[in-house]
């Protein structure tokens, strides 16, 4: 299906009070180092570079993202630029005062716990600007809520944006779905295994409270109790018959789990929406799902529908990315997933590749 991007309206501009938010910053443009004669990278090659670039930048790291065939690596230290370019990344030297988005992220997490305010959609770091982006739901009270949550924070390190609708999880009651417990449907994610046998990964809010799951032909997927991760990590696992879980997603063979950088494209395969692809927007995002704070998610500019919960996100070269939790924004075109390594670690299973 065609990608429909979420339409966002910036709430504030630097030095003005566009909706009464005071000194909330705008997006800060990147300051690129002098042009380098570096080869064009595929998204897979860029992902391979990320660990080395992150290590080389050390505490001077100021964001990593993929853009126009280049792995961009922000740094607060100009002396690190030659090291980063030597690894194959394009350095972006920040010439503005150093910001600490991690500290802002920590403060917002404290201020929105234990129950997320209804007007908060999500918040997470934009590596391109080294700012925390706070998404608030458009409507009465949005400016007041934003002022309260950002009060006292470094105004250069936080950016407030409006979204059209709040996120919500996407399990639904319907028949003829990919997987169903008899009353609601979700989507099968990735195949996994452990010493107990084989599993199909999906969303935790699907597996909680359900003991038996069926495929679209109403055949039982297997015997045994499904697993759910601890509260706050929305992943679960359904036991299946040995060898019945294929390490493929819509014909694409799962070959690994290297995380795609911000800016790289990934595809959601939902039982309702089918294939929906878009670039990774942010990582380590905290999302408000009906008052429940869920952290560590990744946001993607891809559209999703009810029943897509648990669906897999994967790159074109077969790298598993994560499991769908929910979506929000205009037309539900900002989607959120739990990273695959978070999922497998929480459930004590290993991703099945082939």
* pLDDT tens, position by position, 222-252: 778 899 998 889 999 999 888 888 899 988 9
Q: Is the pLDDT of residue 104 over 60?
A: yes
Among candidate residues 60, 205, 257, 272, the one labeled active-site is: 205
pLDDT at 17: 32
Among candidate residues 77, 135, 177, 234, the one labeled active-site is: 234
Q: What percent of the chain has pLDDT over 90?
A: 74
Residue 75 CB coordination number (10 Å):
24
Q: What percent of the chain has pLDDT over 70?
A: 88
CA distance 115 to 103: 20
CA distance 202 to 337: 11
pLDDT at 6: 39
pLDDT at 176: 34
Length of the chain: 354
For 140-187, the pLDDT digits (tens) are: 999 999 999 999 999 999 999 999 999 987 765 333 357 988 888 999
CB 238 within 8 A of CB 179: yes
Reading the block at residue 108, the tokens are 């917002």
- Looking at residues 1-8, what average pLDDT do you find? 38
User: Cis before residue 114, ω within 30 degrees of 0?
Assistant: yes
Q: For this structure, is 220 an active site residue?
A: no
The torsion angles phi and psi of 331, rounded to 5 degrees, stand at 60, 25
Among candidate residues 181, 309, 324, 335, the one labeled active-site is: 309
Residue tagged 């935790």 (tokens)? 204
Q: How confident is the model at residue 66 (pLDDT cuts 50, 70, 90)?
A: very high
Q: How confident is the model at residue 24 (pLDDT cuts 50, 70, 90)?
A: low
Q: For this structure, is 77 an active site residue?
A: no
Integer-rounded Cα Rg, in Å, for the chain is 21
Q: For this structure, is 210 an active site residue?
A: no
pLDDT at 341: 98
pLDDT at 230: 87
């Amino acid at each position: 299906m065609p990608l429909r991007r979420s339409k966002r309206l910036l709430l504030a501009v630097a030095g003005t009070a566009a909706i009464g938010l005071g000194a909330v910053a705008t997006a800060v443009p990147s300051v690129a180092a002098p042009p380098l004669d570096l080869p064009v990278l595929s998204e897979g090659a860029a992902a391979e570079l990320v660990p080395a670039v992150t290590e080389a930048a050390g505490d001077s790291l100021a964001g990593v993202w993929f853009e126009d065939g280049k792995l961009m690596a922000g740094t607060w230290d100009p002396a690190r630029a030659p090291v980063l370019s030597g690894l194959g990344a394009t350095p972006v030297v920040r010439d503005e005062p150093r910001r600490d988005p991690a500290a802002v992220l920590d403060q917002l997490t404290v201020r929105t716990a234990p129950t997320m305010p209804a007007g908060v959609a999500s918040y997470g770091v934009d590596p391109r600007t080294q700012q925390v982006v706070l998404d608030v739901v458009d409507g009465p009270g949005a400016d007041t809520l934003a002022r309260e949550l950002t009060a006292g924070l470094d105004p250069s390190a936080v950016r407030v944006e409006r979204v059209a609708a709040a996120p919500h999880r996407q399990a639904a009651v319907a028949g003829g779905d990919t997987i169903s417990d008899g009353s609601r449907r979700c989507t099968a994610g990735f195949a996994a295994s452990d010493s107990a046998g084989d599993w199909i990964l999906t969303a935790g809010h699907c597996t909680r409270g359900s003991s038996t799951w069926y495929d679209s032909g109403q055949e039982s997927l297997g015997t045994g109790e499904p697993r759910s991760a601890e509260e706050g990590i929305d992943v679960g696992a359904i036991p299946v018959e040995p060898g019945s879980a294929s390490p493929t997603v819509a014909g694409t063979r799962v070959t690994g789990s290297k995380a795609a950088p911000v800016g790289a494209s990934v595809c959601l395969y939902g039982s309702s929406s089918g294939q929906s692809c878009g670039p990774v927007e942010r990582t380590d995002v905290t999302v408000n799902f009906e008052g429940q704070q869920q952290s560590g998610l990744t946001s993607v500019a891809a559209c999703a529908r009810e029943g897509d919960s648990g669906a897999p996100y994967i790159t074109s070269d077969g790298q598993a990315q994560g499991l769908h939790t929910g979506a929000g924004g205009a037309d539900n075109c900002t989607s959120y997933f739990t990273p695959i390594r978070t999922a497998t670690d929480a459930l004590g299973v290993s991703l099945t590749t082939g």
